[in-house]
Amino acid sequence: MHWADVTAQALAHKGNKHIISTGITPSGEFHIGHLREILTGDMISRAAKNAGLDVDFIFIVDDADPLRKVYPFLHDDYSQFIGHQIGSIPAPDENGKPDFEKFSKDGLSYADYFLSPFLEALRTIGVVPRIIKNLHSYRSGAFNEVSKIACDKADDIREIIERVSTRELAGDWFPWSPLDSKGSLEGVVVTGYDYPLVHWKDSHGVEGSSDITKGEGKLPWRIDWPAKWSWIGVTCEAFGKDHGAAGGSYATGREICQLFGHQPPQPLTYEWISLKGQGAMSSSTGNTIGPIEALELVPPEILRLLIAQSKPNKAIEFDTGMSLVNLADEYERLLSRNFDQELTEQDLSRRKKVQIEDAIGALKMSKVSPESTLESSNVTFRHLCLLAQTKTSDEMVWSSLGYSSTDKPPTSLVDRLNKMKLWIKSKHLPEEMRISIIDNPELEMFKEFGDEEIKVLKLLKEELERCEWNSEDIGNAIPNSAKTIELSPRIAYFVAYKSLMGRSRGPRLAPILAEIERERIIKIIEKCLIVINS
């Protein structure tokens, strides 16, 4: 079974009704790493529904969390809001400054500013959870009961956190963080508790009281999390490996939530998605690839496949270069496979059967909608990239693929071509896939040519003039131009790349040339010979 089906099966043993939760703090731009959490929850939810369970899939927006620091993408003006809840401070303008006017006029908070485009991306990839905003939940009284229990049982909670996490809490620690006289959660010392009031003194020397029932503050994270499980009724949650570590917030949360009268949810710990060669994605450092940016380059099914095909405990290394190429081509290969036939093959090993079933499950979970039908375009990402760079019009691309004015390409393929053209123009196109045929060669290109290279170039022209104009015959003609005078084929490829693309190597040349008119290629070589002899 697919990993999501395994989790759904475990949930089925615990009952028929489930609330599956995910949650993120919108402290900066969302990235593909965040998709792992939300898509993991979405896929478990789908699998549970397929198993006949009654499922509510929720997304908790932790907008009651404080602004931790002035991030690189923010103006220094945000220093006044450090410690303030991100759902209650202004969104940044185009210069990274707090946009007070928009905040007062439209109520656009810092959290909403980063949340809105992420929710738009989620809708595009078929994820539409029930949204629960933490700040509103505190202010509307949803946390009242659990907050009272936490404050009443402060000593019990302290014992759990210190024992499980093996760290000692401060002497003035209290399970409620009040807002100070300026609206910050930082630098506040709790001086007493008399429900519903938590009394405090802040760093400015001001004394006051925080009313729990009005949400004038919040529970610290290690208590806030299990408190949400309790009042919402969460039965399953996916979370990052940091929370799942020994002594981490899940370990303390599973005991604390029982003080609230709730059993801990079924956990599913996932590994990070990191940028290849750059480490884990981070909104605060800007080391990210945004989901909207990625969705401009590939169909949503491919991003879903990124999460669906990897078990949650497996780290994913990703970039929008070759990783994206390989992922897109893997998607097309999965679509073209006949799984029914593969499963009926004789002598099918258990291991092979599991691999096939995993592939079926991953493809099923890559659907934007569970009801949608997946159809192969029979065009690989690589080949479409080649056509988009070698053909001068969309009509020529479609003609090359066998389409005509009466037999038009499907809209999904048209969309893929449009995304491909954006990808080619972007910074993400891998250099090894960039095609740049030089129609007007310059002398500088041939400074490494000697007599042997010039002889090969002349023979290359002859070979290309008489061969059949297809990838296979062109692929034979290039090395033959060197072999006929007993030279290494490597010289022929060096000559061909230098003369046609101005570099020593590049993407496979024969398939590229096959998509370009023979006359154009021959004319370029003739120009090269003229430049060399001038």
Q: What is the mean pLDDT of each run of 10 residues along the chain (534 residues)?
A: 94 97 92 89 97 98 97 96 98 96 93 94 95 98 98 98 97 97 97 97 96 98 98 97 94 98 96 73 57 83 94 88 87 91 90 92 94 83 92 92 92 91 88 89 94 96 97 96 95 96 91 94 96 90
The structure's pTM equals 0.88
Q: Is residue 284 part of a domain?
A: no
Backbone angles phi, psi at 272, to 5 degrees: -75, 160
Beta bridge partners of 526: none
pLDDT of amino acid 288? 59
Same domain, 387 and 426: yes
User: CA 385 to CA 380: how far, in whole Å?
Assistant: 8
Amino acid at 390: T
Number of domains, the chain: 2
Q: Give me the long-range contacts of 106-111 (CB less than 8 A, separation at least 24).
A: 109/63, 110/26, 110/67, 110/81, 110/86, 111/26, 111/61, 111/63, 111/86, 111/87, 111/135
User: CA 324 to CA 330: how far, in whole Å?
Assistant: 10
Same domain, 494 and 462: yes
**What ranges in 213-279 are assigned the alpha helix state H?**
221-228, 241-244, 249-259
Same domain, 417 and 393: yes
Q: Is residue 407 part of a domain?
A: yes
Amino acid at 6: V
Q: Is residue 56 part of a domain?
A: no
Looking at 390, 407, 433, which one is the last position of a domain?
Answer: 433
Q: Is residue 75 part of a domain?
A: no
Same domain, 455 and 480: yes
Q: Is the dihedral of CA 167, 170, 174, 178 positive or negative?
A: negative
Beta bridge partners of 58: 21, 130
Looking at 373, 407, 433, which one is the last position of a domain?
Answer: 433
Query: Which residues, in sequence order, are CB contacts of 332 under 8 Å at separation 6+?
Result: 376, 377, 378, 379, 380, 381
Task: Tell me the CATH number at 495.
Answer: 1.10.10.350
Place of tokens 């078929």: 126
Q: Is residue 477 part of a domain?
A: yes
Q: Is residue 199 part of a domain?
A: no
Same domain, 482 and 404: no
| Residue 113 tokens, joined | 């500013």
Same domain, 475 and 499: yes
Report helix, strand or coil for 442.
Answer: coil
pLDDT of amino acid 474? 97
| Alpha-carbon Rg for the chain in angstroms | 30
Q: Is residue 209 part of a domain?
A: no
Instruction: Tally the residues of the chain.
Output: 534
Q: Is residue 63 part of a domain?
A: no
Looking at 368, 401, 433, which one is the last position of a domain?
Answer: 433
Place of tokens 């402060």: 154
Same domain, 486 and 511: yes
Q: Which domain holds residue 386?
A: 381-433
pLDDT of amino acid 298? 85
